Amino acid sequence: MAGAAGDDERTALHDALDGYLAHLTVERGLAANTLGAYRRDLTRYVDFLVAQGRTRPEDVTERDVEDFVLAVRTGADDRARLVASSSARAVVAIRGWHRFLVLEGVTERDAAQDVRPPAQPKRLPKAISVDDVTRLLEAAGLGDGPVPLRDRALLELLYSTGARISEAVGLDVDDLDRTPGQGAVRLFGKGSKERVVPVGSYALDALDAYLVRGRPALAGAGRGTPAVFLNTRGARLSRQSAWAVLRTAAERSGIATADHVSPHTLRHSFATHLLAGGADIRVVQELLGHASVTTTQIYTAVTADSLREVYLTSHPRAK
């Protein structure tokens, strides 16, 4: 529809864009890559507006902005279609420019104020199979000394309770109830919301081994802390270090999805495996600490996909 305008086709919109890009460069000091992205998105936007007969910033309407967002999502301006994340980036650039035009007194109204980026597609959580979880947990405990005991206990607890890594490393010894058959842990989630979650026997055994034989050795290097999980200096294990424990265990385990293991992998697997085993979604919601069951419902899609895969590969007349 529209290519870049030549010098003889320059408009007040082009001049206004040059002023904004200069502002981003000098006043805000944006990185070169970020500035380049703004320039590409806004140049495409101006070309689109000019093709619609708009030549001055004050000519632009909210409908023009909405039409541009639709055009970049569909390729209707004869350019490459943008995925949701890229078009969302373009909307951010456009909103910033129109806000600047108002602040500078170039226009009286902000044409992009009420235009929102396109909704991002929901990404299903990535869970791993029960067999892969077992291999991951076993890999974490390989070796001698207190660190393998700690790593195995940490990952066992994450999978047994569905805790976030930040919740696990935030645990103090007093937050654990290691009573056989009644094991539980007190977790503090987002907004310091407290919940008590049962702990399975495998995790309890791993915690006992660590607390009896591993933690005292690590604590000797520190100044005393109530934290359950300690680093080699005797201080509380950081979230980044706990993530490194998970990543290392994934690499050692040899599971096919090792490259895709993330800090939430065991939490996602915990929820998915519970639902696949018949757990009520509201129970899973409480265990995960979700404020709304709507957040938990994303796992039902994962479970449905798993059931469908099993059906297609197992039923003699499924295909």
Long-range contacts of the stretch 154-157 (C-beta < 8 A, 24+): 154/229, 154/237, 154/242, 154/245, 155/245, 155/246, 155/249, 155/266, 156/202, 156/203, 156/206, 156/207, 157/185, 157/199, 157/203, 157/206, 157/207
DSSP one-letter string for the chain: ------GGG--HHHHHHHHHHHHHHHTS---HHHHHHHHHHHHHHHHHHHHTT--SGGG--HHHHHHHHHHHHHTTTSS----HHHHHHHHHHHHHHHHHHHHTTS-SS-TTTT--PPPPPPPPP----HHHHHHHHHHHT-SSSHHHHHHHHHHHHHHHH---HHHHHT-BGGGEE--TTS-EEEEE-GGG-EEEEE--HHHHHHHHHIIIIIHHHHHTTSS---BSSB-TTSSBPPHHHHHHHHHHHHHHHT-TTGGG--TTHHHHHHHHHHHHTT--HHHHHHHHT-SSHHHHTHHHHHHHHHHHHHHHHH-TT--
Using CA atoms in the order 258, 263, 264, 270, what is the torsion angle rounded to 10 degrees? 70
The verdict on whether 299 is a catalytic residue reads yes
Annotated catalytic, 319? no
Concerning whether 267 is annotated as a catalytic residue, the answer is yes
Helices 84-103 and 62-74 sit at what angle, rounded to 10 degrees?
Answer: 160
- Given 40, 190, 233, 282, the catalytic residue: 190
> Pick the catalytic residue: 14, 135, 267, 268?
267
Q: Quick check: is 202 catalytic?
A: no
Catalytic residue among 54, 95, 152, 264: 264
Q: Is 152 a catalytic residue?
A: no
Active-site entry in 89, 164, 215, 273:
164
Give the catalytic positions in this structure: 164, 190, 264, 267, 290, 299
